[in-house]
Structure 1
Amino acid sequence: MLEELEIRNLGPISQARIMPHPGMNAITGETGAGKSMLLNAIELISGAQAQSQRVSANSDQARVQAIFGVSGSDDIKELAQNAGAECVDDQLFINRTVPQKGRSRAVLNGQTVPRTVLTSIASKLVTIHGQSEQLKIANISRQRDFLDDFAANDTQRDTYRKAFENYSTLKEKIDQLKSTQSQAIAQIDYLKDAISRIEAIHPHEGEDDELKSQRDYIENATEIAIAQAAALRALDTSENDNDEASVSELLTRAIHELHAVSHIEQMSEIMSRLETLRDEVQDIVYMLSQSSNEDVNPNDLDKINERIHDLSELTKRWGPTLKDVLEWKEKAQFELEDLDASPERIHELEVELTQAMEIVRKAAKELTRTRVVAAEELSANVNKELKSLAMEGSALYVSVSESSELDVHGADDIVFEFVPFPGAPRLSLGKSASGGELSRLMLALELVAFEKKRVRIDQMELSEQRGNVPTLIFDEIDAGVGGATAVELGKRLARLAAGAQIIVVTHLPQVAAWADEQFVVSKTKSASQATTTVTEVNGEARVAEIARMLSGSQSKTSLQHAQELLDECTLKMPELA
């Protein structure tokens, strides 16, 4: 929901700030006052192409900032987070600057982002039903998405998508095997040979390091034996011909001498350390006395070197370590299974493909069923609404026909066609309706979709919905409308505002009177330039604006009529006929 819109130096608007109501907001003002600039501002923060000629004449740049409330809109928060612009306090800040010269700049929550990011996020925040924007409904994919949303067929779409993706994966695998069969056979031979060589040597992780340690010991066996004997003689005098005390005996004597003062804490600690040292020396003496080179066989050196060479060959090819070699072998075995390009394997996959296609067709049939039912209901309900919007004889036809081929979206061709008057041919949207007619048609579509959603879910309090309601903007919706039809138009916009934030640019007092808030765009002229201001009107100021819209003046009679119109719209809860 749009919480705030601030505009600086955009066209005739030097500075304006509006804070739309969560419900219905009317933008009114004299023709040529600059109401279109409000739409331009919203288009800019929605990612539209920047146009430097719209920057105010005496300014270096134009700036538009919007604040959206996004509580409950996890998808929007995720998009912002993925762009490195995480939302804080459930608010989304969008800033767009357009210089007189150079490139425009888009900022999302303080983070500069590409314009395409604004487009993807704004598409979930704002829908503009204006002369240019609403032509997007002529896009086939937009029509399909609208119908699917109306049908609430998420489960059927998800089931079909998974089935189709499985089918596509199998088909791609078969095609790849057939087209690259010779390369696959060569790769299979290589993998089999490599796996065979690794299995023949049968290494284990760290084996090469163990063997190199053994080799070093054997190669230095003589030097090790001499050093061991010398160390033993130095530590244990029983190995010598003299009567000198050994290190262990000397340590024992020192411990004995300190025993008398062991009750003193410092001496007790020293005794404990000497005892530990003596035990360690005795253990070393034992190890040195037990060491022997009798088990060292110089002939083993050749076998060890040969084994080290074999392991080295493996690590050179698939290393750098034996752990890497073993991991490569495991992956190669899986790859070998996938690369089995034998006719038998291809036949097995083709059988799987046939079965997968049956699942796809079944899922597509169920998806088509939901769309056909929804298309009939959507067409009928929209056409009922069109009668109340001064479009008697107009009709919307939503058709679902079998597509020439399956794709990720299903097996259907979905087309929205419009007949503007009885006897006219069915034509695609955008080619058969004027701007005003198309705006009213979009209102009817939005309203019918909203009513459908209300049937599916328990109605929540308006305050509980406001965090994640969409913002819908209508422009030129009142073209060629007046009288009772204008009242119906305003009533339906107000009804739609129960589930969405509505911003409508209108010339009709019967429409503006239904709004929760009204903003007046006015132009003031000075000797040097014309300036446009945007003002929220309440109380007597709003009555005066409605009176101006009714009769072009603010006479006593027009003011009275304006007050009566506002009172009537305030008292009546908009109920659909």
Structure 2
Amino acid sequence: MLEELEIRNLGPIHHAVLDFAPIRHALLDFAPGMTAITGETGAGKSMLLNAIRLISGASADAGRISAGADETRAQGIFAVLDGSKAASIADEAGSGPQDGELFLTRCVPAKGRSRAMLNGHSVPRGVLTELAGELVTIHGQADQLRIASPTRQREFLDAYAGDSATLEAYRTAWRELKAMDEKLAKLQGQEAEARQRADYLKDAIARIDRVAPVSGEDEELKAKRDRIENAAAIAQGVGGAVAALDSAQAGYDDDGGSGVSQLLDRAVQSLRGIRMGGVFEESADRLESIGDEIADVVLSLTRQIDESEDGADLDAINERIHDLDELLRRWGPTLDDVLAWREQAGMELEDLDASPEKIDELGKRRAALLATAVKAAEALHGARVRAAKALGRKVSAELEDLAMAGAGLEVRVVSRLGGPDALDAHGGDDISFLFTPFPGSPQLPMGKSASGGELSRLMLALELAAAERRGTDAPQEGGGNKASGEKNTGDGTGASGDGRSGMTFIFDEVDAGVGGKAAVELGKRLAMLARSAQVIVVTHLAQVASWADAQFVVSKAAGNAGESRPAGVSTSVSRADGDDRVREIARMLSGSESETSLDHARELLAESKL
């Protein structure tokens, strides 16, 4: 919702007939609901829209700067919800909402480049354009009709249909189909480099598989080779050690010498022979324990002698070590690394496998995915057709009440299924909004078939239909908010929480060619839409302005010379409340403030309630 708009030194765009005066400074505090912008013809109401276009990222023109000023500046403050798309865009731009608000600013100097700012930080102009697309919609002849494009029409119809589950089911099926298409295209269109990579992987995997390494095998083999190569030294060393520890195990007789084990046995027997217990028994026990440890060492050493490597094939071991070293040099440094590379290479090779069998397998899988996508597209088509009929009926009925009797909208949904290029990312339908502005007129695409006022009323009818579909009471008569003092909260939540009700709709020229009862109905319809979204309308009709919750008056005023402000005529903007508003409505009705026109104005304001 637009909370505040501040304008400084904004000059008019040159007009061949009307003499507009610049806006030196204006500050408009907007509220939820409906706001009317009024003023005499030529007062400069359109400059307010120019300011909003500036902060929406429109092209800058130094000619907009008022005479004598160095720059023109426009700033809009918008309330946004956490988690909304606008908040996400701002976060991605590096300047998220501050206390739930976004500050969009545009400065256009007399010389040099314009500056776009978000929350006081410079950003590309495109960021303001993207943000404004989520915050503001201007419906007027001077603006490109957003919904004139097939993309916008499809998005509007899908939002109106409200069948998010069917739409997401199709999007999921489409993503899976496209992923398979990319995989097949990659396989079928492999270049020489890809084929060489596949050949290399095949050779490498075959080489590793021939060797069939086992984790840690190389270290074990090298230890075994060392034992074989040093077998004589090992035997001599172990034999001497065993002889010193246990002469019996070394093969000596009792007279040949005594080892450590025999000496310990003698010591134990001597101590136990004392037969007094105490320290003597304790010492004997400790020596026996030492003897057991020595016996274990002797047993381990004698096993080394018994496990003779004489029968091992040293040449075979060296050849195996050589084969493993070759693998380590290529894909090491450890055998675990070699085995991990082998596993990864196998998966990569599977993706690069462009064999006829592989392509045939993927082709069958693609056919299944295509069938799923077509089925989802058919379901989406059905939902769109139902929504299109309902939308066309509703908009045509609204147009009847907006002084466009005989006008109508047909939303056409044509399926492409069964033909070439049947599916795309958004389904299998061609969607077009065809407008008939008056009886007997041929159906023409929106944007090419109506005047600015007719287009604005058509857009109002579309927005009313959308508001009703969201579950709000915008198009429902009775239970009026103004009669009870109830106002739109402006929190942007809406009944459905789809976020669209957080949009600010600005209507310009919506009352062109309208008068009498039709003007009253137009104002009423705008007030209805304002119950689910913020509405700002530029109007010259009292019957429309009287329905607004707030009213601003644009007028010309004589300026005074001062700091950086040249004397002359300028445009002022002021809020009309109480008697001021009655006088403005009276002026709009009859051009005077007679008692009769004032009474008529009070009566009109009293009657303009939902």
TM-score range, shorter chain: 0.7 to 0.9
Q: Aligned partners of 1:205, 1:54: CA distance in 2, in Å?
A: 77
Do the aligned partners of 2:472 and 2:532 also contact (CA within 8 Å) in 1? no
Q: Aligned partners of 2:543, 2:174: CA distance in 1, in Å?
A: 51
Q: Output one character per residue of 1:53-86: Cα deviation in whole Å (capped at 9) or x when no partner.
A: 2122222222111111112553222221111112
| In the alignment, structure 1 residue 193 sits paired with structure 2 residue 232 | no
Q: Any idea what SS the aligned residue of 1:410 has?
A: coil
Q: Report the AA paired with residue 514 of structure 1.
A: W
Do the aligned partners of 2:490 and 2:533 also contact (CA within 8 Å) in 1? no
Q: Output one character per residue of 1:5-41: Cα deviation in whole Å (capped at 9) or x when no partner.
A: 1111221111111111111010111112121111111
The equivalent of 2:543 in structure 1 is 510
Q: Any idea what SS the aligned residue of 1:454 has?
A: coil
Residues 566-577 of structure 1 correspond to what in structure 2 (within 5 A)? 566-569=605-608, 572-573=609-610
Q: Aligned partners of 2:121, 2:225: CA distance in 1, in Å?
A: 61
For these two proteins, the number of residue pairs brought into alignment is 509
Residues 308/437 of structure 1: CA separation in 2 closer, same or farther (3 Å cut): farther
The equivalent of 1:114 in structure 2 is 124
- After TM superposition, the score normalised by the length of structure 2 is 0.74
| In the alignment, structure 1 residue 470 sits paired with structure 2 residue 503 | yes
Q: Report the AA paired with residue 127 of structure 2.
A: V
Q: Report the AA paired with residue 550 of structure 1.
A: L
Q: Any idea what SS the aligned residue of 1:127 has?
A: strand
Unpaired segments ≥5 residues, structure 1: 217-221, 223-285
Q: Report the AA paired with residue 372 of structure 1.
A: V
The equivalent of 1:398 in structure 2 is 411
Residues 567/192 of structure 1: CA separation in 2 closer, same or farther (3 Å cut): same
Do the aligned partners of 1:5 and 1:17 also contact (CA within 8 Å) in 2? yes
Q: Aligned partners of 2:603, 2:570: CA distance in 1, in Å?
A: 32
Q: Any idea what SS the aligned residue of 2:346 has?
A: helix
| In the alignment, structure 1 residue 334 sits paired with structure 2 residue 347 | yes
Do the aligned partners of 1:8 and 1:63 also contact (CA within 8 Å) in 2? yes
Q: Report the AA paired with residue 551 of structure 1.
A: S
The equivalent of 1:2 in structure 2 is 2
Larger Rg, first or second structure (1 or 2):
2
| In the alignment, structure 1 residue 350 sits paired with structure 2 residue 363 | yes
Provide the aligned C-alpha RMSD in A.
3.8
| In the alignment, structure 1 residue 50 sits paired with structure 2 residue 63 | no
Q: CA deviation at 1:478?
A: 0.5
Deviates more, 1:116-125 or 1:429-438: 116-125
Q: Any idea what SS the aligned residue of 1:59 has?
A: coil
The equivalent of 1:436 in structure 2 is 453
Do the aligned partners of 2:81 and 2:491 also contact (CA within 8 Å) in 1? no
Residues 187/559 of structure 1: CA separation in 2 closer, same or farther (3 Å cut): same
Residues 413-424 of structure 1 correspond to what in structure 2 (within 5 A)? 413-424=430-441
| In the alignment, structure 1 residue 539 sits paired with structure 2 residue 549 | no
Residues 65-464 of structure 1 correspond to what in structure 2 (within 5 A)? 65-180=75-190, 184-199=194-209, 317=330, 327-403=340-416, 404=419, 405-454=422-471, 462-463=488-489
Residues 321/487 of structure 1: CA separation in 2 closer, same or farther (3 Å cut): farther
Q: Aligned partners of 1:461, 1:409: CA distance in 2, in Å?
A: 38
Q: CA deviation at 1:187?
A: 2.6
Q: Aligned partners of 1:201, 1:109: CA distance in 2, in Å?
A: 66
Q: Any idea what SS the aligned residue of 2:471 has?
A: helix
Q: CA deviation at 1:356?
A: 1.3
Query: Identity over aligned residues, as a percent?
Result: 56
Q: Aligned partners of 1:28, 1:456: CA distance in 2, in Å?
A: 27
Residues 546-565 of structure 1 correspond to what in structure 2 (within 5 A)? 546-565=585-604
Residues 204/77 of structure 1: CA separation in 2 closer, same or farther (3 Å cut): farther
Q: CA deviation at 1:329?
A: 3.6
Do the aligned partners of 1:181 and 1:341 also contact (CA within 8 Å) in 2? no
Unpaired segments ≥5 residues, structure 2: 12-21, 227-232, 234-293, 477-485, 494-498, 560-565
The equivalent of 1:486 in structure 2 is 519
Q: Report the AA paired with residue 513 of structure 1.
A: S
Do the aligned partners of 2:488 and 2:530 also contact (CA within 8 Å) in 1? no
Q: Output one character per residue of 1:80-123: Cα deviation in whole Å (capped at 9) or x when no partner.
A: 11111122221112122122222222222233221222222221
Q: CA deviation at 1:45?
A: 1.6
Do the aligned partners of 1:465 and 1:499 also contact (CA within 8 Å) in 2? no
Q: Aligned partners of 2:106, 2:314: CA distance in 1, in Å?
A: 76
Residues 302/529 of structure 1: CA separation in 2 closer, same or farther (3 Å cut): farther
Q: Aligned partners of 1:414, 1:133: CA distance in 2, in Å?
A: 22
Q: CA deviation at 1:202?
A: 6.3
Residues 516/455 of structure 1: CA separation in 2 closer, same or farther (3 Å cut): closer
Q: Report the AA paired with residue 484 of structure 1.
A: K
Do the aligned partners of 1:184 and 1:341 also contact (CA within 8 Å) in 2? no
Q: Aligned partners of 1:61, 1:206: CA distance in 2, in Å?
A: 77
Q: CA deviation at 1:194?
A: 2.2
Q: Aligned partners of 2:219, 2:104: CA distance in 1, in Å?
A: 60
Q: Aligned partners of 1:55, 1:139: CA distance in 2, in Å?
A: 33
Residues 129/209 of structure 1: CA separation in 2 closer, same or farther (3 Å cut): farther
Q: CA deviation at 1:207?
A: 9.6
Q: Any idea what SS the aligned residue of 1:406 has?
A: coil
Q: Aligned partners of 2:160, 2:553: CA distance in 1, in Å?
A: 35
Q: Aligned partners of 1:543, 1:406: CA distance in 2, in Å?
A: 58
The equivalent of 2:260 in structure 1 is none
Residues 49/209 of structure 1: CA separation in 2 closer, same or farther (3 Å cut): farther
Residues 110/315 of structure 1: CA separation in 2 closer, same or farther (3 Å cut): farther
